[in-house]
Structure 1
């Protein structure tokens, strides 16, 4: 006589599948990596002073994201500066200074960050970048877009756990 299959073995499989799905969903909210200037990179040969501000305006930066500054060594650099130094293009008092490309800068705090190139008049020609860094819930003073990765994970988790509850209720 064949033994009846124990409900715990199929329940265990369902739990394992759900755990794998949850892990895959969580990967969708990992930190992003941004190539500063996209294909143009970090250069002064761009479309004037608005190029990098336009580039940054289409992005949502969060803590743990990485900015990658690609440039030609000896012709450009990356300097993290204060807001006043950014505005005036004062390149003599950098907070941090990077000369070896590519520079991978991890965003570790919320708020505004300012970057410039200290070579010649590159900053005044528009080779400067300002970014606003928010948390997973969005930059300070703004709301998170409804299609954010975090909302997706929460909705997916609700769906997954509801499905598991229905499965277990129907098994017993």
Structure 2
């Protein structure tokens, strides 16, 4: 094992932590109106762009409502048959961990009053090209150059730095 391997492992772990914290967005369903009957959640979802690693949050009265992740049939018919997840805390944070269409409903009858939302999750866009590669010394060992490129791209993506 080379001397730079432990440094590369630590830097990779730090990078993963930083990327997840700066790139992820928490989308609160219904914004300040929360997860309640009579709201147009299709309009709400169409005004947001969802990416892998984002969160979708549901805020509601836990004694009245809940959240189920269902397939398109469950969404269309307001049923929980084949549900892949359910939450009932009143403050549910759900990780959108795959690029796909997600379907959520309220199974306590609220679905029939509009409490259902479908969101399309996109893959993460590639990081912007960083100018850090231009400033990296050619004499630096390869792992150090790689870390410079990675951290440069991270700074640029998170903070708009070049």
**2 CA distance for matches of 1:54 and 1:38?**
12
Larger Rg: 1
Q: How many residues align?
A: 122
Structure 1 counterpart SS, 2:42: helix
Gaps of 5+ in 2: 1-14, 137-162
Q: CA deviation at 1:45?
A: 4.0
**1:99 CA drift (Å):** 1.1
Q: Are 1:54 and 2:26 counterparts?
A: no
1:31 and 2:24 matched:
yes
User: How far, CA to CA, are the matches of 2:45 and 2:111 in structure 1?
Assistant: 16
TM-score by length of 2: 0.66
**2:38–2:114 contact (8 Å) kept in structure 1:** no
2:102 aligns to what?
A: 113
TM-score, structure 1 normalization? 0.62
Q: Relative to 1, partners in 2 of residues 1:69 and 1:154: Cα closer, same or farther, differing over 3 Å? A: same
| Equivalence for 2:113 | 125
- Once the two structures are superposed, the pairs formed by residues 26-105 of structure 1 within 5 Å of their partners are 30-46=23-39, 51-105=40-94
Any unmatched runs of 5+ in structure 1? 1-22, 138-149, 166-172
